[in-house]
Structure 1
């Protein structure tokens, strides 16, 4: 039969004070009840642990042996409690966050900065990737969290925001009058696009099929930075989410026009592995991510109410 932890605590306190009366007062337990617990413990072990004397209570030889183990057990429990509370207050550990490459420049730095300020013991790794790579990393549990396209992520992923899509061209090509461009016009541009596994490429091919048109693909380039460099050098145009080109357009490095009509947005979601309990560190990173998404939404980068914090 396992030893009762409560009885061991009572025993340790009696040994510490050398008195049932003082121990009972310290523990807030009636002395008769304390005596009953000790009698039960002695019966369970079939040994005498305490001897009453005119001067108080003396621990027997058997009691001394039990006391040494009891003190070690109670110390370990106290340390475990303290460590658990510290972890809840100051979580630590590794967290892997995957972010769609086209929005990583907007999201990654503020998330990393806030995390380091609030939770310096969390080791956060942020990885950029395309939608299919992020989905695979979630399925294999390589990432704890991933910001991905809604149509690629798991159906149970939580919606984060809707981002407008823009036709993107070299600096000065599009007039800065706020006007939009139709999807039909965008398909006629000399487009620089990623391969068919990418979300925007899939969307454009679907729209081309609906309109009975052919996409004018001038070049295929994998990688956001290389695509924007090619556009800046005059090799063609592309279609990207607002977050990927907002800063370039503001600086005048590229020119943009929103795609006209309903539905030319893409939904970004927060995905995480199934059957994989999230640690306190992961939950805190998730909350920081939602905070950043909401703030960027308020600044006009996208529109969608993020899910509630954990």
Structure 2
């Protein structure tokens, strides 16, 4: 197997175009097509289908694409680990932080701490939603991610970090009783929630089902800026973890209200691959991330991460 052909194949799939891949790789398109034909002959499967818009992978091509990314990433890690000096860690480490979580406030402290302790590590931070981050880890394109959920799925390992209480955020002019709000009172309230595939939405839907509430969802929003603007305009209310609820309530001139009967909680976990080992630089970043999460949960967090008061810690001591 020629690793160079795997790199070519991954680049073609990433760009969806043989022409663009040829230009970026500085290889004549006929020569690139020939390399692709050799790869298809080696695997005895058609890997790409030509369309008017470019090329798309077949089912076999998608499978090879996933494995090729893992193979190439492990090769890069091996080279990095071999090249590092005895006292200096160097290499690329990717960390996903789900937006709207307590962990999203850790991006700057994480960056500062890694730069101070291990200046040779190139840190890549990605703030995206849980399902996207999970797929990146499974495909070997991301080392770790902090996201909501505690149930390991195939290819993933979840380590519980802390549990956040969810709150109702309403427009300031929405009529609501003072004090905690029973979940049953949301029966006729216009709600703006994440999409159903979102881990957070699952916890909200489960609690609403227990309270026998049929939610009146008027919009599905996963943008903090849009959600804050909608709250400000009085379009509806939303349900968010404490860390995100504080931010949205402040930026959208809304009111944060505690939910009771039942209270809704969401576990925040550190997610890694269950079959791909972390590189030495990634292990170092992993340990720093656990330290920052512990500080965040215990209330001794730096100013940048001071939006998760009330979170209950469950601080792990062992690496996966």
Please indicate the TM-score interval, normalised by the length of the shorter structure: 0.5 to 0.7
Matched, 1:308 2:306: no
Alignment of 1:152-163 (within 5 A): 153-154=152-153, 156-163=157-164
Q: Is the 8 A contact 2:89 2:118 kept in 1?
A: yes
Alignment of 1:68-217 (within 5 A): 87=85, 89-103=87-101, 104-151=103-150, 153-154=152-153, 156-171=157-172, 179-217=179-217
Matched, 1:220 2:229: no
Runs of 5+ unmatched residues, structure 1 = 1-82
CA distance, structure 1, for counterparts of residue 85 and residue 173 of structure 2: 53
Q: Is the 8 A contact 1:132 1:198 kept in 2?
A: yes
CA RMSD of aligned residues (A): 2.8
With normalisation by structure 1, the TM-score equals 0.65
SS across alignment from 1:129? coil
Deviations 1:105-159 (A, max 9, x none): 4121211121112211111111112121122111111110011222465373111
Which moved further from structure 2: 247-256 or 129-138? 247-256
Q: Is the 8 A contact 1:208 1:214 kept in 2?
A: yes
| Alignment partner, residue 237 of structure 2 | 237
Deviations 1:31-56 (A, max 9, x none): xxxxxxxxxxxxxxxxxxxxxxxxxx
SS across alignment from 1:306? coil
Count, aligned residues: 227
C-alpha change, 1:248 and 1:208, in structure 2 (3 Å) is closer
CA distance, structure 1, for counterparts of residue 187 and residue 204 of structure 2: 8
CA distance, structure 1, for counterparts of residue 94 and residue 210 of structure 2: 39
Which moved further from structure 2: 118-127 or 201-210? 201-210
Deviations 1:197-228 (A, max 9, x none): 11232223233333333101122223222212
Please tell me whether Structure 1 or Structure 2 has the larger radius of gyration of its CA atoms: 1
With normalisation by structure 2, the TM-score equals 0.63
Q: Is the 8 A contact 1:166 1:256 kept in 2?
A: yes
- Deviation (angstroms), 1:236: 1.0
| Alignment partner, residue 288 of structure 1 | 288
C-alpha change, 1:176 and 1:285, in structure 2 (3 Å) is farther
CA distance, structure 1, for counterparts of residue 151 and residue 170 of structure 2: 27
Runs of 5+ unmatched residues, structure 2 = 1-80, 300-308
Which moved further from structure 2: 204-213 or 163-172? 204-213
SS across alignment from 2:135? helix
SS across alignment from 1:295? helix
- Deviation (angstroms), 1:182: 1.6
- Deviation (angstroms), 1:229: 2.0
- Deviation (angstroms), 1:99: 1.2
C-alpha change, 1:237 and 1:277, in structure 2 (3 Å) is same
Q: Is the 8 A contact 1:181 1:257 kept in 2?
A: yes
CA distance, structure 1, for counterparts of residue 261 and residue 184 of structure 2: 11
C-alpha change, 1:97 and 1:176, in structure 2 (3 Å) is farther
- Deviation (angstroms), 1:186: 3.4
